Structures are given as structure tokens and as C-alpha cells.
Structure 1
Amino acid sequence: MSVPITNPTPAFSIRRASHISLTVADLEVSLAFYTEVIGLVVSATGDGVAHLRGVEESAHHSLTLVQTKGEPSCRRLGFRVESDADLDRAFGNFSHLGHRPEFVDLPHQGRTLHVSDSVGSPLEFCATMPVQQRLHDQFQLQKGAAALRYDHVQLLAPDVAKASAFYTALGFRISDYFVDLEEDEEPLGIFMYRKNNPHDIVFLTRPGPVLHHFAYVVADSTFLFRALDTAGALGFSGNLERGPARHGEGHALYVYFRDPDDHRVEILTPPIQMGDAEDVPMRWHRGNRHSWEFPAPKSWLYEASKFEGVEIQGKGAAAKLRNLEDFLASRPLKMPE
């Protein structure tokens, strides 16, 4: 099976993955984690809702936290389009495809279009947000990782080729994909982008759709350790799930945290640049994925945040994957004689 082909002339223009909305059980605790450890800045709060942004971002928000009495979940994945005219073109495109789009009014962003993708993931598109002061040069205000900007989102779905085809039809390009063995054809993961780095949205093969993680870029590796030190000092050390380590498909260093509601957030150093015509998809497999990182823990492989009201498909279909727990259990314990 080949990966889906990018449509070079999509019906409307998407700029990038731009924001995400989550529900949380205790807004005060969540704010402490995201401002002190991840280093986001609060743009607005009130009525059980908080809007946050990275220190480099001029857009009003990239993360919205909403207090809930129910099970914490992911509400929406946000993307920016070029203009309001693109929203109208998007409405026509999704209506033609039977996806039932609708315009909604939301605080702190321009006209917004809601729709679901082909596997049920809830999306929203907007062209504008109120402009805020960038704080990338206000070092006295920065905390924890001092996260610069929202970078990407990763989802789990039982058929990554089908899930990805929705996005390649909208002009997303594939930067990387991976199979298990070199001779395999079935893609297990697909990385897609619109901006000039390898990922705006990623799909991995598991039951879904569910949110695996969302990610912020930090300035360099020292900020990964500053986030870890801050987490330890403030009682969030148990929220570390994976890393620090280096991804096998690129040079980015990373750390994965689970927030107080178990939503997974990644902080990573700046990824490689993409976007030229000669940047074709890179095919990865066991034989060419080189890294010194340990295997991922079982929690990272199988746990994820549900989308509100979205049924999970492919339950029980996930294969057993190489994991940290089994790797460590297989290593003989060598005691000094």
C-alpha cells in the first residue's frame, strides 16, 4: 500500500496547526503546570476557561483549557487558514463532501468553522485572532520551558492511510512515514505538514481517533532540562513520561509530560526545515531508524485522550509493540560478586 498523494491545488489554503482545546478537572492546577513547567503565558481567564500562548506567539492563544465536571477530554484541534475567504471555500468544500460544517462564534478568535475529519476527529478553522505582545525577549517573564510556539498534534487511528488521505486532499505534504520491516508496505505512521517543518499533524496506527499528544517548540535543549528541574521543584516530577531523548527520525530532542489530567504534551527543540519541491517523503523502517533512546513506555504507546462524543474504532486491534518495560525486564541483572 502506498501513502496518499498530496493534492497540489486544494480547495482552500491551510497555513498550519495552530491551537487545541482541552477540558480539565481543576483549572487552577492545570494552569500551574502549563505556566510554570511548560512556560506558557496566560492571555485571558474567566468563567472556568483559560487561554494560553507560547512566549513567541502573537496570536491570542494556542491552548484553551475548560473546566469540566466530567471526564477530561480533547474538544477540538485548531488550524489557521489564510483568510476569511478561505473559510467560505472550506465550508463549500466540506459541504460538498458531506462533512456537515458549521460556523460558530468563539471568544478571542475570528469567524470559526467547525467540522470533523474522515475518521471523526473534531476540527476547527479560523483565519484571525487578536494580536498579543510577543514575549520572546522578555526573559524576566519566562518560566519553565519557556515554550516558544505550538508546533503539531499527533493522533491515533486504526487506518493511518485513510486518516491521512483527508489531509493530503487539503494540501498537506508528507514529510516522513514508517513501516515495521523494510519489505513491508503498510504504513504504521504518517507525518504531514503545511508550514516549513516536518509536522503539523501525525497519525500512528492504534484504535482511535484519539489525541496522542500536542507539542510546543522550545529554544534549545537547556529549556528541556529547565522544565524538568521546575517540575521536580513544584511537585510535578511524576508527570514526566518519556525522555529526555532524541527522536529516531530526526534530530529533535524531546520530553513528554502528562499534564494533571493525563493529557500528553511534548516539548521539543526546533525540528528540521521543509517545504522545497525536492523534499519528498522519507521512508523509515527498523533498519534505518537510529537513535540512542530507550523504547517508549507502555503508557506512551497505548494511552491517549478521548475526543468528546467521538466513538473509538478498532478496539483490540493494536499489536503488541516493543516497549520500555519489556526491554528492561529482558536485561539480565548483573550483581557484583
Structure 2
Amino acid sequence: MPVPVTNFDPPFNITRASHIVLTARDLEASKTFYTEVIGLVVTAEDSNTVYLRGLEESCHHSLVLVRSDGKPLCQRVGLRVFSDDDLDRAKEHFDGTGREAVWVDRPHQGRTLHVSDPLGMPLEFVASMPVQRRLHDQVQLHKGGGALRFDHFQFLAPEVGSAARFYTDLGFRISDYATDKPEDDQPLAIFLYRKNNPHDIVFLTRPGPKMHHFAYIVTDTTCLFRALDTAGNTGFKTSIERGPARHGQGHSFYVYFRDPDGHRVEILPPPIQILDLDDGPVHWHTANRQSWEMPPPKSWLFEATEFDGATVKPSDIPLTLISLEEFLARKG
């Protein structure tokens, strides 16, 4: 399927990737990882749930950890809409297209609408949360990477063109897409956005749906190294999975970590901005990727978090994937 086209007159106004809800078997260990290494702050907690946010965020939470003894799962993916009226328009839209959407009560959120996308990924739309004091100027509270704000999700999907179409129909624009060769029209990755940087949602071709990672913005590259040093000094050095290095798409530095349950989180400095309608999608392929990063490890290529209630389906699209382990073995 070719790259989908954005609907510039969407039925309601989505503004950004908002938050994510993950299960945690050891809630205290996960809280320690996200506060000490990533640098999030706790807004609220009880015996079964921890709500965290970045230092720049005035929203109540961008990460929710829920105690569970079962397999680690992603329970919900949160998207913010502009106003309460947009929630009503979203409900009307999904009802009209035959996609079940239900109102739910969630702590520390305004009205919340639940719906699943065509892949089965569980979404929730919110327009408001209790406003908190921003802590970017309270430097005595900053730890680890000093994560500032939630940036994006990356998901795995059997066919990214059709997966992305649901979101382009809702007004998401495409900043980048990748194919194997310049002449190919089968996208293997698609970067979608609603705010003014290249990514709110990224789809990568693999069996799915699965949640590959979510990401927070940090101030600069020194924060990446502070997070790495903190991980090494606080018992989390084995959580470092990939990086520090620089991506080809976006030209951004990054580090990937795995939390105590294996959920993957990325931290990266502020990416480029995309402001104008004539700033169209950039086509990436093997020949024009400008990066000095090593190939990813097998874990990064093939491991990801399953969604609660979603059925994982295989991908029929052939991929040429070289892992770090294979690269080093050939080099050796």
C-alpha cells in the first residue's frame, strides 16, 4: 500500500501524543527507574498506581504505571484533543463509522473516550487534566536525564500504510517515511505528527500491533550521559539497550532503555520543527540514511510490549534486518 494522504479537514482536533498506561510487576522498582534514571516526577500514587510527568509538563501525568502480576502489557495509549467539544465530535465520528467508542471515568483526567484503532490498539482521548506546576526551573528536583515532556510513541504493525491511514484520516501529517530502495512504494516505516515536530506516532513494519517504545525529550546531550551515568550508579546499567548514537531520520541523538518490566523508553534532545504545509514527507531509504549509528541489537529489532486485549498478527512484507550481533560477527 502506498503512503496515505492526510485529511486536512479532520472530524475533530487531535493536538498531540499525550500519555501511556503500562503494567508493572514491581511498582517500586519501576518508579525508581523512571524517577532516578529518566528523571520524571511523581504527581500522585497509591498502592496500585503511580502517575508521573516530565519537568516541563503542566498536565497531571504522561506515564501511568499500574501494578499487575501478569505479563507486562500496554493498557492504553493516550491522545490529547483540543477541547471538550472535540471529544463529543470524536464520539460522533466513531459511532458514525461503526467503531465502538465508550465514555469512561479515569482518575486525574477530564472526560475520557475509549476506542480501538483498526489494529486493535486501545486508545483514549482526553481534553484536560488537573494542571500542575511546571518544575523546569526547580533544578534541585532534577534527576537522571531530567525528562522534560512526552514526545512520541513507536508501534509495530504488519503493514504500516494501512495502519497509518486511520491516523491520516484524523488529520495526522507525515514527516518522513522509509522504504528499502529509492524506487519502492511499499513504506516500511511512517512518521506521523500533530504537534510541530516530526513524530507523535511512528509505525514500523513487524508483527503487531505492539508498543515498541515511547519517548521523552531532554534538554541536550549532556542529559543523555547523565541518565546513562545514573543508570550505572543505581543498579540499572543492564537497562541500557541502545545508544548513545544518532538516528538517520531526524538526525537526533538518542538512548534507549528497558524498564524493569522490559517496556522500552527513549530519551532524545529536542528534534527539528515542522511548521508549514509545504514541508512535505521526506522519503528515506538505505542509500540516503545519514547516520553513524551501529545496527540495533536483536532485542531492539524484535522485542516489544503487547497491547492488552489486542491480537498480534504476522507481517507478510519481506524485511532485510541486520542486528548488531550479526554485524559484529561478520566484521569479526
Give, as a single letter, the amino acid of the residue that structure 2 aligns with 1:67. R
Distance 1:316 1:233 in 2: 43
Residues 206 and 318 of structure 1 are in contact (CA less than 8 Å); yes or no, is this contact kept in structure 2? no
Distance 1:227 1:312 in 2: 33
Distance 1:167 1:317 in 2: 21
Distance 1:96 1:302 in 2: 37
Q: Is residue 2:37 matched to residue 1:37? A: yes
Q: Is residue 2:3 matched to residue 1:3? A: yes
Distance 1:277 1:62 in 2: 28
Distance 2:112 2:331 in 1: 52
Give the CA deviation at 1:2: 2.4
Which residue number corresponds to residue 285 of structure 1? 285
Structure 2 gaps, min length 5: none
Q: 1:6 to 1:31 in 2, by over 3 A?
A: same
Which residue number corresponds to residue 110 of structure 2? 110
Normalising by structure 2, we get a TM-score of: 0.98
Q: Deviations over 1:301-324 (max 9, x none)?
A: 110000011100116866451111
Q: 1:2 to 1:226 in 2, by over 3 A?
A: same
Q: Is residue 2:217 matched to residue 1:217? A: yes
Which residue number corresponds to residue 326 of structure 2? 326
Distance 2:93 2:25 in 1: 37
Residues 207 and 318 of structure 1 are in contact (CA less than 8 Å); yes or no, is this contact kept in structure 2? no
Q: Is residue 2:162 matched to residue 1:162? A: yes
Distance 1:306 1:106 in 2: 22
Give, as a single letter, the amino acid of the residue that structure 2 aligns with 1:18. S
Give, as a single letter, the amino acid of the residue that structure 1 aligns with 2:74. C
Residues 216 and 268 of structure 1 are in contact (CA less than 8 Å); yes or no, is this contact kept in structure 2? yes
Residues 214 and 265 of structure 1 are in contact (CA less than 8 Å); yes or no, is this contact kept in structure 2? yes
Which residue number corresponds to residue 241 of structure 2? 241
Give the CA deviation at 1:277: 1.2
Which residue number corresponds to residue 119 of structure 2? 119
Distance 1:328 1:269 in 2: 28
Give the CA deviation at 1:275: 2.5
Structure 1 gaps, min length 5: 333-337
Which residue number corresponds to residue 335 of structure 1? none
Which residue number corresponds to residue 171 of structure 1? 171
Residues 87 and 113 of structure 2 are in contact (CA less than 8 Å); yes or no, is this contact kept in structure 1? yes
Q: Counterparts of 1:163-312 in structure 2 under 5 Å?
A: 163-312=163-312
Give the CA deviation at 1:98: 1.3
Q: Deviations over 1:76-131 (max 9, x none)?
A: 00010011110010001011111100000100010000000111111000000000
Q: Deviations over 1:211-242 (max 9, x none)?
A: 00000000000000000000000010000000
In structure 2, the residue corresponding to 1:98 is in which secondary structure?
A: coil
Q: Counterparts of 1:46-61 in structure 2 under 5 Å?
A: 46-61=46-61
Q: 1:315 to 1:159 in 2, by over 3 A?
A: closer
Give the CA deviation at 1:28: 0.2
**Aligned length, in residue pairs:** 332
Which residue number corresponds to residue 152 of structure 1? 152
